[in-house]
Structure 1
Amino acid sequence: MSPGSPLPSFRRNSRGRIPWIPVPAARAIVDCAVYVDGKRMPGHFTHAAALAEVRKRGDGFVWVGLHEPDEHQMADIAETFGLHPLAAEDAVRAQQRPKLEQYDETLVMVMRTVAHLEHDMHSVSEIVQTGEILVFVAAEFVVAVRHGEHSGLAGVRRELEGDQERLRRGPGAVLHAIADYVVDSYIEVAASVEQDVEAMEEEIFTPGSKVAVEPIYQLKREIGELKRAVYPLSAPLQLLVRPDMPLSKEIRRYLRDVADHHTAVTERIADFDESLRALIDAALAKHAVQQNTDMRKISALAAMFAVPTMIAGIYGMNFEHMPELKQAWGYPAALSAMALLCAALFVVFRRSKWL
């Protein structure tokens, strides 16, 4: 190792520490292409070769898609495209809040992605899964970094490649397509969650049904996570439509439509939150009514058992001089009195709907 060279990183295993070899950036790249005049150029490019091709032509742009790059892979990408180190660091670390930042001529937008998972309504399980997409947009390139298995952009790329007119608008069209895809996924997840809420409502308000409160709390928690992913995107979308953004007027018009859809889905999610609050109150009230009914049944049964217990207690005190104690009909009379009194109490409680 030459003097002044950086020390290698180490990773510990069962045999001790071994040097960690960085994985090339190409392993994190899902797709890399050059687009000129709305068409994808044939052939395969590395990210560096693609950018060099665009600069040589003086036209077109590069679109690079990455999936969960590590810090070394992202450092290679950042060096090639001149990305700011802070933005590159955000691309490696997931769980960023949706935001829009501008570093010189490069826009950096973070969006949270969501997916609805199949689940059992009667169990406490994860319902909403979140991910992240971070997009770098400049005049010569689009770099999209995604985290999460459900946030693939292959469909977005295929759709744009089938519409040359949109791709001619440049990197801004790609940013709009990704933002539109993310907001559309919010709408789809909101529709699925709405079905969950309606199913929960139907079950709670069905007479005689027994509903556990825990699944309702779980659904409310998942909607809270959905809110944290969806709501903060409003501010970045509003910033994108400002005239001082380095985007064309046509792209801003399309992004304004995306912002309107986002506003609609946030209002829809807010309605879910209010509905679940009402469902929790209804479920707790239903449990309280059920508990009152159970307590009345228990009280009625206790009263019925108290009568024979009292009679048996009185005649079991073993006093020498007690009425009917030595009569032949005393024991049958005591049993008959117990039965008649219990039957009378049963009729009274039955008419009062305690039993």
Structure 2
Amino acid sequence: MPLMHRLRSAARRRLRAVRATVDLSHPARSPLGSAVENCVVFEEGVRTPRDCSAAEALERVRKGDGRAFVWLGLHEPEPSELDALGALFGLHPLALQDAAGPHRRPRLMRYDDTLCAVFKTVRYVEHEQLTATSEVVDTGELIAFAGPDFVITVRHGGSGSLGPIREALEDVPEQLKLGPAAVLHALADFVVDEYEQVTDAVQDDIDLVESTVFSPGSGRVDPGHIYQLKRELLELKRAVAPLARPLLALADPLKPLPPVGPGLQPYFRDVADHLARTVDQLSSYDALLDSILQAHLAQVTVAQNEDMRKITAWAAIVAVPTMGCGVYGMNFEHMPELEWTYGYPLALSVMAAACFTVHRAFRRNGWL
């Protein structure tokens, strides 16, 4: 615990130093410039047309009547940019650590009156043919800070642009009137929709592998393909399943989390239901891949047994003339039919007839 206190104190001192040395009100001197993708102000659910810096937007929002908020979007900011972000919006030092990433799993944290939500974004990687090294699912991160009068989104990795989400929200001003929590819901809904799309795409790969394994005459399937698909499915499941608890917390009417109000809790509950359905699908796909792998291994075992039976049958057929040749190859003077004119053809005929009889017996029993 003392070490954690020292780390928090050092982070607070660093933020105070940033506040003292950086003029965040001037866009040209703001260290947020390189990471900022957009900075938008919404008043009464309507986007204001005038562009401005993050500091100007926040100042204008906080001088208003409390019915406006700013949405600031960043992509892979540097540590210095995160420091400036914390200094400008008054974010908790631990919240800045959350924005730095990477994280192992989605989560929801509350810092005073600010919520920090960590989402794992996913993207389906198109591929012509599934191999033992194919990348099927690409993951990224989306961190969202929702405060009383601001929303900050930080993207890392393969997560896509949030421009379409903002444009869709601008068409529904009644939703944006609910404040920053409306943006948080839109982000959660967008992420879960991506989960569903990627899950459906992965199902196509599973169906292809399944048809290849069970189709007659398709040849043997490389088990590495099945293992690779199972690994990619596990990565997708790690991104999807842990988000259930944060969504349920946002939808809980008994323990409301500001800035989420009662009007938005049913929407978060709906997103949680969609996520639960996706998690169930992934669990069923995982079980299906296990069954496909076991069936493939069973097919390999059966094929090996058939090969061994054929080899054994042919070895038994060859053993018949080998025994006759071995007997007549002994150097004894008194052996039957040694000096008979037709003794040699007779011996060959007897061996051929014996081989034919043994071959018919194996064919009749399904060994050949």
TM-score normalised by structure 1 residue count: 0.87
Is it true that 1:76 corresponds to 2:84 in the alignment? yes
State the 1:110 CA deviation: 0.7
CA contact (8 A) 1:90 1:96 kept: no
Q: Separation in 1 of the partners of 2:61 and 2:215?
A: 64
Amino acid at match of 1:56: K
2:233 is matched with 223
Structure 1 residues 296-311: aligned runs within 5 Å: 296-311=309-324
47-56 or 174-183: bigger deviation: 47-56
SS in 1 for 2:282: helix
Is it true that 1:133 corresponds to 2:126 in the alignment? no
2:49 is matched with 42
Structure 1 residues 204-223: aligned runs within 5 Å: 204-209=213-218, 210-223=220-233
CA contact (8 A) 2:138 2:158 kept: no
> CA 1:28 to 1:322, structure 2 compared with 1: closer, same or farther past 3 Å?
farther
Q: Deviations over 1:249-281 (max 9, x none)?
A: 111121111111111111111111222222222
State the 1:150 CA deviation: 3.7
State the 1:123 CA deviation: 4.0
> CA 1:342 to 1:266, structure 2 compared with 1: closer, same or farther past 3 Å?
same
Q: Separation in 1 of the partners of 2:131 and 2:358?
A: 39
Amino acid at match of 1:264: R
> CA 1:295 to 1:248, structure 2 compared with 1: closer, same or farther past 3 Å?
same
Q: Separation in 2 of the partners of 1:312 and 1:25?
A: 93
Structure 1 residues 246-285: aligned runs within 5 Å: 246=258, 247-285=260-298
CA contact (8 A) 2:146 2:152 kept: yes
Q: Separation in 1 of the partners of 2:83 and 2:232?
A: 34
CA contact (8 A) 1:112 1:230 kept: yes
312-321 or 47-56: bigger deviation: 312-321
Amino acid at match of 1:186: Y
TM-score normalised by structure 2 residue count: 0.84
Q: 2:185 aligns with which of 168, 173, 176?
A: 176
Amino acid at match of 1:306: A
> CA 1:96 to 1:54, structure 2 compared with 1: closer, same or farther past 3 Å?
farther
1:10 is matched with none
> CA 1:34 to 1:151, structure 2 compared with 1: closer, same or farther past 3 Å?
same
Structure 1 residues 231-242: aligned runs within 5 Å: 231-242=241-252
State the 1:97 CA deviation: 1.6
CA contact (8 A) 2:139 2:158 kept: no
CA contact (8 A) 2:99 2:143 kept: yes
1:152 is matched with 161
CA contact (8 A) 2:141 2:158 kept: no
Work out the percentage of aligned pairs sharing the same amino acid.
Answer: 47
Where in structure 1 are there 5+ consecutive unaligned residues?
Answer: 1-5, 7-22
Q: Deviations over 1:323-352 (max 9, x none)?
A: 444544344334333332222222211121
Amino acid at match of 1:116: Y
2:27 is matched with none
State the 1:96 CA deviation: 3.5
Q: 1:340 aligns with which of 350, 353, 368?
A: 353
Q: Separation in 2 of the partners of 1:323 and 1:273?
A: 70
Where in structure 2 are there 5+ consecutive unaligned residues?
Answer: 1-13, 15-29
SS in 2 for 1:25: coil
Q: Separation in 1 of the partners of 2:77 and 2:340?
A: 97
Amino acid at match of 1:311: G
1:9 is matched with none
Aligned positions, number: 334
State the 1:121 CA deviation: 3.4
CA contact (8 A) 1:35 1:62 kept: yes
Amino acid at match of 1:248: G
Q: Separation in 1 of the partners of 2:351 and 2:33?
A: 89
Stretches of 4+ aligned residues off by more than 6 angstroms = none
CA contact (8 A) 1:112 1:131 kept: yes
Is it true that 1:52 corresponds to 2:42 in the alignment? no
State the 1:203 CA deviation: 2.5
> CA 1:24 to 1:335, structure 2 compared with 1: closer, same or farther past 3 Å?
farther
> CA 1:338 to 1:27, structure 2 compared with 1: closer, same or farther past 3 Å?
farther
Over the aligned positions, Cα root-mean-square deviation in angstroms equals 2.1
CA contact (8 A) 2:141 2:156 kept: yes
